[in-house]
Amino acid sequence: MCGPIQGFEDLEVFKRADRVSLEIHRASLSFPRHEQYGGLGDQMRRASKGICANLAEGYGKQRISAAEFKRYLQMALGSADEMRVWLRYCLALGYIDEAMWRSWRDEYQAIARMLTGLHHSWR
């Protein structure tokens, strides 16, 4: 990370979560129709976007309370772990191949580690 953090968009964890969330969104639109809306695809889109949304909302509230930001980081961490569950279902159901599963699983594990580190280091 170069330079000071001006907003949530400057957080590396946000950048990574945003990138993979967009990948998830696009891929989920190719799932069977019954999974796209109200099913697994919808659940994945909400959980992956939830990480980004919690980072943004929490960052905005950290001006008032560091503890509040940490609470939102915990919710984002829960969504990152939730994504690993949904990815396992996608693999088991044949919606993604093992290489894609491994790539996304590893990315969400890295995001979870980053969220945990940010939680521990935030003022």
Predicted confidence (pLDDT) at residue 7 exceeds the cutoff of 80: yes
Residue numbers of the domain that contains 106: 8-121
Give pLDDT, residue 110.
Answer: 98
- The C-alpha atoms of residue 87 and residue 92 are separated, in whole angstroms, by 9
Give pLDDT, residue 122.
Answer: 80
Q: Which two tokens stand for residue 55?
A: 């980072």
Read off the pTM: 0.91
- The C-alpha atoms of residue 96 and residue 93 are separated, in whole angstroms, by 8
51-64 pLDDT per residue, tens: 999 999 999 998 88
Closest CA to 95 of 49, 28, 16: 28
Domain total in the chain: 1
| CATH (domain of 103) | 1.20.1440.60
Query: Is 39 within a domain?
Result: yes
Give pLDDT, residue 3.
Answer: 60
Could you tell me the pLDDT band of residue 1, with boundaries at 50, 70 and 90? very low
Is the separation of the CB atoms in 10 and 1 below 8 Å?
yes
Mean pLDDT calculated for residue range 76-93: 98
Could you tell me the pLDDT band of residue 71, with boundaries at 50, 70 and 90? very high
Query: Is 2 within a domain?
Result: no
Give pLDDT, residue 2.
Answer: 53
Query: Is 95 within a domain?
Result: yes
